[in-house]
Structure 1
Amino acid sequence: MTDHLILGAMFRAVGAYPSGWRFPGAHHDPRDDAAVLRRTALAAEAAKLDYIFFGDWLATGHDLEFRDPYLLARIDPVSAIAHLSGVTERIGLIATANTTYFDLYTLARLTASIDRLSDGRAGLNLVTGAEPRAAGNHGRDAHAPNEHRYDQATEFVDALTRLWDSWEDDAFVLDQGTGTFIDPDRLHRTDAVGEHVRVTGPLNVARPVQGRLPIVHAGTSPRSRQLAAEAADLALIAAPSREAAVQIRAGLREAAASAGRPSGALKVVTPVLPVVAPTRALAQDIFDELLRLVPLDDGSPLSRSAAFPANRSVASLAGTVGTELGAAGLDDAVPASVAAAFNDDGQRLIELVASRTRRRVGGDLPVTYRHLIASNAVPAAAVVGSSSEVADHLESWFTSGAADGFNVLTPYLPAQFDAFTHDVVPELQRRGLFRTEYEGTTLREHLGLPVPANTHTVDELVDARG
């Protein structure tokens, strides 16, 4: 693990929880995203977070209104970090790009430029994509199968790093007396010719300040984890429990070692959605309201939309909990006799609602069908509590080896992000788990990663040794 845990802010302008935009006082208008983008980045930097992270989705549609409203209309990630490079000074800036659709040379040029403009703070999350509508948006007849996409991504990463390495760090002679601007022997073609990727180079941007931008990759498939182990600096994982996360992280680090990478070369982070308030009870009230605001199948015109999710009804809940629920209404309390007939999944759902909302079957604040349906339909890595309790959760995962850090998802902006940065981060700092000041200037330094050697000079050294 690093000396301190890694903390990044995963930016979702209208909230990472689907009903977050409906919460009183929440940012909810995508047309005003630029202002909340700058505010969030500056707040994250003031808290000394490692980076702000921008995911992506290359299509839109009415179905996203219910599932992931933040995906409906959003600022392009590369444009976002380019803009923030001039607004912020120290925080890392990570954008997402899809290797299936992005032109390799263009991406290498854009990202090397942003790394230069930000003095070495850029990072790149590479994804292969899984949205069929994206194919049509990019003039393709069909979305490529998984194996093809990962074969292409592997070639893409190799060629991308070689393009970034086109210029050796001392290639610029800059001798004004002789008129010698560069040493041509230190400018390299890329000549990457594979089954899926072809590029010659060299890149017409100086080598990034960081040598190469830190590469991020997320996924659960064997090919995804292979790519992360072989090529990523930061792996994003999701795990159902701390124990599962320990195993996943250990497996990724073992795979990285098998690929010949040094110990600690691959950092592992996991998502967390903190709901923070001065007391646990107040935090539970906030999450209770978030659940209440999730649109469910209540017979309204909205719920009769063809795009409305099928898992937001009493009937769908009955299938999950394994028992008939009859004519139960959304806001009816779940009787103890009915709850006793729930299967294991149903019992876990009751426990989840109880831990996040204070609601108890048969209690003064009863569990309703609405809360069960919403919790089942909208899974989230939520941690609900006071700043100390949220810090306890992060500390336990970090010290047990479940993760090197966290991508912080905020249910709604700006209030909940302020609660995390103003209350949770200082608690982590008091415990010695997180920095109080930036020690370095680049994203690699924030993450404890060395500057890699230039690929071309390493190849030349290997060739010289025979």
Structure 2
Amino acid sequence: MSGAVDRPATGPLIVGAMVRTLGAYPSGWRQPGAHADPQTDASILRRVARLAEDADLDYLFFGDWLATGPDLEFRDPYLLARIDPVSAVLYLAGVTEKIGLIATVNSTYADPYATARATASLDLLTGGRGGVNLVTGAEPRAAANHGRDAHADNEARYDRAEEFVRALRLLWESWDDDAWIADRDSGVLIDAERLRTAAFVGTQVRVEGPLNVARPPQAHPPIVHAGTSPRSRALAATEADLALIAAADPASAAATRTELRALAEASGRDPDDLKVIVPVLPVVAETDASARAVVDRLLLLVPIDDGASGHAERPGFPANRSLAAFLDAAGLPADDPARRAAVDDVVAADAAARFAEAGARVLDLVRLRTGRSVGGEHPVTWRHLIAAHAVPANFVVGGPTVIADHFELWRAAGAADGFNVLSAFQQAQFEAFAQLAAPELRRRGLLGRAGATLRERLSLGAPRLAYAPALATR
């Protein structure tokens, strides 16, 4: 495998914010002062955009989910009610000046012409700061919301996604750079030979064109894709500019990054034009102890089945949020006396000593992230362990130095070209990252990329254009 495939990231990392107005952790909205009302999302979006731009982040990223239901209250509250991502980025286009704006589109249900039109418009309105995250979706309820009896299988969804990307790019290239003449004396507005149809006919996607929006400043706004299946990784490696991956540690992330870059190179691409991005959920405060206190409260606020709250009887309440579920995971006997303890009781040392490997890992995470310990001055409770087991999160907890060390470690391991920063709740935690951690990242040269367009900030090469006449004019 070539050195280019294995080459780690150098220079400033790509750092974007994955915006979830209700927070990325299920109990985040319960924190004192946290944003908890989707009807006032506009003010949070403006505040996050200003903070991100002042901190010199590279983009704001908006995900999507095409259904809702009461179960999401416990699993992912931020999905219950949220602004349409394309609407969100167009709203923020007028209140930002340099940060990239990436909106999610589900290619299973979206119309390619409408998507090309919206994303080209975003790119024009922002002077080249637009991007699109293409997903194929895996939510059965979304099918009914789009008039379908069943959700398409994985192969059909990716067949459509591949055609969708090709149609998008052809539509974006409808106009050459110099197609607009606007000669007032001669009365000639356009060179008709430099306006073309897409004329794309696939098995699932068909578009004629041309696009009735002028050529995007970036020609091809960057495409983002995430997924774990072989088809998903193939799509990311051959078509995406940013590949979003999830990994538990730098070694596994580095292996995935190497695999994706090798697939990109095998498809004829420069592997450096594929940037691999991992999510991170930093809990930031001025001191490590203060950050641990935030996580401690987040765990305590996770709704669990404690036998008294009535949560277990509510629709969609997760079955794994109980003492019995945690003890099963820890491998303790079914008749262990600890089962009869209230979930608020502290964890006994004899019970902790008998934890299986999975339970011991959860206990170590709680120690690391909250500062609590079995038998210590601030003891671990069963409630902490249940929450940490049932609602796992990729927390990085501490002051600015700890956060910057994490970023630096992953870059040195060749694990990522950048990070999508999540915030446990808004707006205080994103504010803490932007105002405390970001300056330390800049001081170390890990943050602060140059470029007027999003493609330039991401250090992407020139897009692979389909039409030679368009290529010749650039």
User: TM over 0.5: same fold?
Assistant: yes
Instruction: Give the equivalent residue in structure 2 for 1:444.
Output: 455
Letter in 1 for 2:103: A
1:407 aligns with 2:417: no
Of all paired residues, the percent bearing the same amino acid is 59
Looking at structure 2, the residues matched to 175 and 112 of structure 1 have their Cα atoms a distance apart, in angstroms, of 24
Q: 1:210: how far off? A: 0.6
Instruction: Give the equivalent residue in structure 2 for 1:71.
Output: 79
Q: 1:136: how far off? A: 0.7
Alpha-carbon spacing, 1:313–1:434, altered in 2? closer, same or farther (3 Å): same
Letter in 2 for 1:11: V
Letter in 1 for 2:87: S
Looking at structure 1, the residues matched to 231 and 358 of structure 2 have their Cα atoms a distance apart, in angstroms, of 30
Instruction: Give the equivalent residue in structure 1 for 2:221.
Output: 213
Instruction: Give the equivalent residue in structure 1 for 2:18.
Output: 10
Looking at structure 2, the residues matched to 84 and 311 of structure 1 have their Cα atoms a distance apart, in angstroms, of 39
Task: After superposition, give the CA deviation of every residue in 1:214-241 in whole Å (9 maximum; x if it has no partner).
Answer: 0000111111111000000001110011
Instruction: Give the equivalent residue in structure 2 for 1:135.
Output: 143
Looking at structure 1, the residues matched to 462 and 190 of structure 2 have their Cα atoms a distance apart, in angstroms, of 22
| Alpha carbons 2:304, 2:311 under 8 Å: kept | no
- The aligned runs of 1:18-37 (5 Å cut-off) are 18-37=26-45
| Alpha carbons 1:314, 1:373 under 8 Å: kept | yes
- The aligned runs of 1:183-198 (5 Å cut-off) are 183-198=191-206
Looking at structure 2, the residues matched to 244 and 24 of structure 1 have their Cα atoms a distance apart, in angstroms, of 36
Task: After superposition, give the CA deviation of every residue in 1:373-409 in whole Å (9 maximum; x if it has no partner).
Answer: 1011111110001111111001111122110110000
| Alpha carbons 2:262, 2:271 under 8 Å: kept | no
Residue of 311, 328, 349 corresponding to 1:336: 349
SS of equivalent to 2:114 = helix
Give the gaps of 5 or more residues in structure 1: 462-466
Looking at structure 1, the residues matched to 221 and 186 of structure 2 have their Cα atoms a distance apart, in angstroms, of 34
Residue of 319, 323, 329 corresponding to 1:314: 323
Residue of 348, 359, 366 corresponding to 1:346: 359
- The aligned runs of 1:391-402 (5 Å cut-off) are 391-402=404-415
Instruction: Give the equivalent residue in structure 1 for 2:467.
Output: 456
Letter in 2 for 1:280: D
1:416 aligns with 2:429: yes
Looking at structure 2, the residues matched to 391 and 439 of structure 1 have their Cα atoms a distance apart, in angstroms, of 20
Q: 1:14: how far off? A: 1.1
Instruction: Give the equivalent residue in structure 2 for 1:175.
Output: 183
Residue of 228, 240, 248 corresponding to 1:232: 240
Instruction: Give the equivalent residue in structure 2 for 1:152.
Output: 160
Letter in 1 for 2:395: A
Residue of 355, 371, 381 corresponding to 1:358: 371
Give the TM-score normalised by the residue count of structure 2: 0.95
Alpha-carbon spacing, 1:458–1:363, altered in 2? closer, same or farther (3 Å): farther
Task: After superposition, give the CA deviation of every residue in 1:47-95 in whole Å (9 maximum; x if it has no partner).
Answer: 1100001000000000000111110000000000001111111100000
| Alpha carbons 2:11, 2:445 under 8 Å: kept | no
| Alpha carbons 1:2, 1:448 under 8 Å: kept | no
Q: 1:2: how far off? A: 5.0
Letter in 2 for 1:305: R
| Alpha carbons 1:168, 1:454 under 8 Å: kept | no
Task: After superposition, give the CA deviation of every residue in 1:339-360 in whole Å (9 maximum; x if it has no partner).
Answer: 1221111111111111101111
Looking at structure 1, the residues matched to 117 and 10 of structure 2 have their Cα atoms a distance apart, in angstroms, of 31
Looking at structure 2, the residues matched to 426 and 53 of structure 1 have their Cα atoms a distance apart, in angstroms, of 21
Looking at structure 1, the residues matched to 470 and 88 of structure 2 have their Cα atoms a distance apart, in angstroms, of 35
Letter in 2 for 1:316: A
| Alpha carbons 2:86, 2:103 under 8 Å: kept | yes
Letter in 2 for 1:70: Y
Looking at structure 2, the residues matched to 190 and 118 of structure 1 have their Cα atoms a distance apart, in angstroms, of 24
| Alpha carbons 1:218, 1:236 under 8 Å: kept | yes
Task: After superposition, give the CA deviation of every residue in 1:276-333 in whole Å (9 maximum; x if it has no partner).
Answer: 1111111111100000000001232333113111110011112211113421221111
SS of equivalent to 1:303 = helix
Higher mean C-alpha displacement, 447-456 vs 90-99: 447-456
Residue of 265, 273, 281 corresponding to 1:273: 281
Q: 1:101: how far off? A: 0.6
Instruction: Give the equivalent residue in structure 2 for 1:464.
Output: none
Instruction: Give the equivalent residue in structure 1 for 2:102.
Output: 94
Cα RMSD (Å): 1.4
Looking at structure 1, the residues matched to 83 and 315 of structure 2 have their Cα atoms a distance apart, in angstroms, of 27
Instruction: Give the equivalent residue in structure 2 for 1:304.
Output: 313
Looking at structure 2, the residues matched to 233 and 412 of structure 1 have their Cα atoms a distance apart, in angstroms, of 29
1:369 aligns with 2:376: no
Instruction: Give the equivalent residue in structure 2 for 1:380.
Output: 393
Residue of 155, 158, 164 corresponding to 2:172: 164
SS of equivalent to 1:95 = strand
| Alpha carbons 1:275, 1:416 under 8 Å: kept | yes
Structure 1 residue runs of 4 or more that deviate by more than 3 Å after TM superposition: 458-461
Looking at structure 1, the residues matched to 121 and 246 of structure 2 have their Cα atoms a distance apart, in angstroms, of 31
Looking at structure 2, the residues matched to 458 and 193 of structure 1 have their Cα atoms a distance apart, in angstroms, of 22
SS of equivalent to 2:312 = coil
Instruction: Give the equivalent residue in structure 2 for 1:390.
Output: 403
| Alpha carbons 2:331, 2:355 under 8 Å: kept | yes
Instruction: Give the equivalent residue in structure 1 for 2:5.
Output: none
Q: 1:458: how far off? A: 7.1
Letter in 1 for 2:321: R
| Alpha carbons 1:5, 1:404 under 8 Å: kept | yes
Task: After superposition, give the CA deviation of every residue in 1:171-201 in whole Å (9 maximum; x if it has no partner).
Answer: 1122222222222221111111111111111
Letter in 2 for 1:277: A
Give the TM-score normalised by the residue count of structure 1: 0.96
Give the gaps of 5 or more residues in structure 2: 1-8
Q: 1:434: how far off? A: 1.5
| Alpha carbons 2:177, 2:470 under 8 Å: kept | no
Letter in 2 for 1:183: D
- The aligned runs of 1:51-66 (5 Å cut-off) are 51-66=59-74
SS of equivalent to 1:270 = strand
Residue of 295, 299, 313 corresponding to 2:303: 295
SS of equivalent to 1:115 = helix
